[in-house]
Structure 1
């Protein structure tokens, strides 16, 4: 009797049950659930690496994460942040990508692969960092705006790096005109989001109030997020950039809580699948290529982000304490690094995969201990004394 093919639906159900258990376990042992999800993906890599259902669910989860993140940034607020973040952003490019590229070349890596390695080590994982900010209750911290602004800057730079690498690796010459077209697409997508926010979605809040059925709201809001994210992909950009801009379109409605209440449950269901799928994309292979370079780059990637936090945070207007805490919270690598690593081949691909796993784990650990490490260096912040007024005294 011929065996039956294992149903994808059964596999999806089992993965969701395991995700529930790992989430519950993380609360009990006080361990970041993101790490457990990535480990699950690594363990299940041979079984679900080609699972289209898991891949699709993970894409929706990451799109909704950035859609909700974009809701926090109106055009006015984003413009104010852009004026403050560009010095730290370019410092980040120089230290996290440029210096890493030079270090790789120092170990005998050719120019293209050195650029690829520099790009892998550059971008902080926006998804991991945003999720940890939310999980650890640090969204209201003074450094959070700086962290999110830097992540947005990186999300704009990383697609350009990916496009250049793809252009070079395909054997075609990547010209200055190609670069200008790419930048034009990013600007066009951004301007389009702003115009839609100021025109079509100007009275969107009043329209949402008239919709009583939550099912229709979910279809509408998820549809907007996926459509603009998909448009970004169609233009050769990142879907997370498109999703962020879609959220920014709706940020103009004012009372964004109505949108958040509808989307957050869907995001919470699907987002863990992104981290599981991320784990399935890591291929360890046999042995560790360039082990000394791996150690050097892991150490430098942490040092570079801490320097960006300390110097860039001060440029942004943060205190020394908040700047250090920000730098220690920017060390995790993730989704963009994975996308860039897929361009690599042979030993460089294995090297990149191992680096990403180590950097993701180390970055999440540093994020977790950032407040304690900051307090150890600068001491615990003193609580402000409340001035008590005695009734009758002037």
Structure 2
């Protein structure tokens, strides 16, 4: 423990340096955080011949990264509202189903075409289906798109993915880690996840008058302690019932966004969001082994990236159409949620625990790294990307047809 403070200080300095470089280049900061983490990660000594491995501080940095995910999703929830989410419930369910079906089917097809056995194919489908809620949240906040009409669909798909994730991990764990899987256990896990989300949203909305009174605290110190305790307790409890802790944080943000204190919370939480969010992406980079990024895994990962880009854009356009969004807003959905991250790594680790083919780990690392870098870029450049595709595909606006059919406009 003698060098933990120095190691954390060095990590923060490297994060700050990469942030300054990205600002100078006017480029998304997320790829820089990830790449600098890779450059000084556990295997950096073998490349640079210097010991930058953060041996003592790695668990602490990883924990700060987990906190970063909580703050990113919590802040995103604050920028939204439960009311908007409830009003869009049907379109979100339809859009989320479309998104999962398209991406999961393409993931299965990729695995089979690449010649993988059934267990490995199921892991690959899981890796390619679930987007990174942390990266999506960071990009939406950085680009100030939280008030955009498509954001409620993006948030809804993220929550829908978590229900799918709860079910899928239950099934996959049973298949990979044991000889059989209990259907009853899988159904129960899904119902608990869905029930928890609905309960927090509905009860939280009813409790808004009470929350307004409880949060009427003059001291910022005590105010933050109450907010932080609520955030960590709900997020921690959600994890114990197999709902991602990040989704628990998002739910807390959605509830508190309805209170009279939302702006105050938002103002006080920003520094924590930025600091711990940066630590998450740095710690994510630390987890990637640059020496494993080669061989056959590269080609399969590149194929997976192309499949994911196609699947996400198609799903975004279809999901947006069901919600009567404009083609441009629909394209923003697909381009925003294309990033892959923490959940894909969880899937790959599950395959490793089950003794599946070793190629799954480098495949996931390359795939996640490319989309973690490409996702924020595509989101930022969504307008020129859409304009270029629109010249070829000539997207039609469903709102215009609706106006004509009702005789308005």
The TM-score by the shorter chain falls in which range? 0.7 to 0.9
1:52 maps to what in 2? Answer: 59
Is residue 34 of structure 1 aligned with residue 30 of structure 2? yes
Tell me how far 1:6 sits from its aligned partner: 5.1
Q: 1:44 to 1:77 in 2, by over 3 A?
A: same
Distance 1:173 1:153 in 2: 26
3-state SS of paired residue (1:48): coil
Tell me how far 1:156 sits from its aligned partner: 2.6
Is residue 110 of structure 1 aligned with residue 128 of structure 2? no
Is residue 277 of structure 1 aligned with residue 277 of structure 2? no
Tell me how far 1:300 sits from its aligned partner: 0.7
Gaps of 5+ in 2: 43-52, 353-357, 392-409
Tell me how far 1:87 sits from its aligned partner: 2.0
Tell me how far 1:54 sits from its aligned partner: 0.5
Contact 1:217 1:262 in 2 (8 A): no
Gaps of 5+ in 1: 380-394
The within-5 A match list for 1:5-84 is 7-46=3-42, 47-48=53-54, 51-84=58-91
Is residue 257 of structure 1 aligned with residue 263 of structure 2? yes
Comparing 131-140 with 302-311, which one deviates more in the overlay? 131-140
Q: 1:361 to 1:318 in 2, by over 3 A?
A: same
Match of 2:224 among 199, 212, 218: 218
Aligned length: 374
Match of 1:142 among 139, 149, 174: 149
TM-score of the aligned structures, taking structure 2 as reference length: 0.85
Contact 2:162 2:243 in 1 (8 A): no
Root-mean-square deviation over aligned CA pairs: 2.2
Contact 1:66 1:243 in 2 (8 A): yes
Contact 1:221 1:263 in 2 (8 A): no
Comparing 110-119 with 183-192, which one deviates more in the overlay? 183-192
Tell me how far 1:79 sits from its aligned partner: 1.7
Comparing 249-258 with 18-27, which one deviates more in the overlay? 249-258
1:89 maps to what in 2? Answer: 96
2:398 maps to what in 1? Answer: none
Q: 1:28 to 1:291 in 2, by over 3 A?
A: closer
Tell me how far 1:326 sits from its aligned partner: 2.7
Contact 2:126 2:344 in 1 (8 A): yes
Distance 1:291 1:262 in 2: 43
Distance 2:118 2:371 in 1: 23
Is residue 230 of structure 1 aligned with residue 246 of structure 2? no
List per-residue Cα deviations over 1:158-205 (Å, max 9, x = no partner).
233223222322215221111122013213422442464256553222
Distance 2:2 2:306 in 1: 43
TM-score of the aligned structures, taking structure 1 as reference length: 0.88
Is residue 157 of structure 1 aligned with residue 164 of structure 2? yes
1:331 maps to what in 2? Answer: 338
3-state SS of paired residue (2:288): coil
1:193 maps to what in 2? Answer: 200
Distance 1:223 1:34 in 2: 28
Contact 1:189 1:242 in 2 (8 A): no
Distance 1:302 1:63 in 2: 27
Tell me how far 1:132 sits from its aligned partner: 1.3
Distance 1:146 1:195 in 2: 19
Q: 1:89 to 1:286 in 2, by over 3 A?
A: closer
Tell me how far 1:377 sits from its aligned partner: 4.6
Is residue 98 of structure 1 aligned with residue 105 of structure 2? yes
Tell me how far 1:258 sits from its aligned partner: 1.8
3-state SS of paired residue (1:202): helix
Q: 1:139 to 1:75 in 2, by over 3 A?
A: closer
Contact 1:225 1:243 in 2 (8 A): yes
Is residue 353 of structure 1 aligned with residue 365 of structure 2? yes
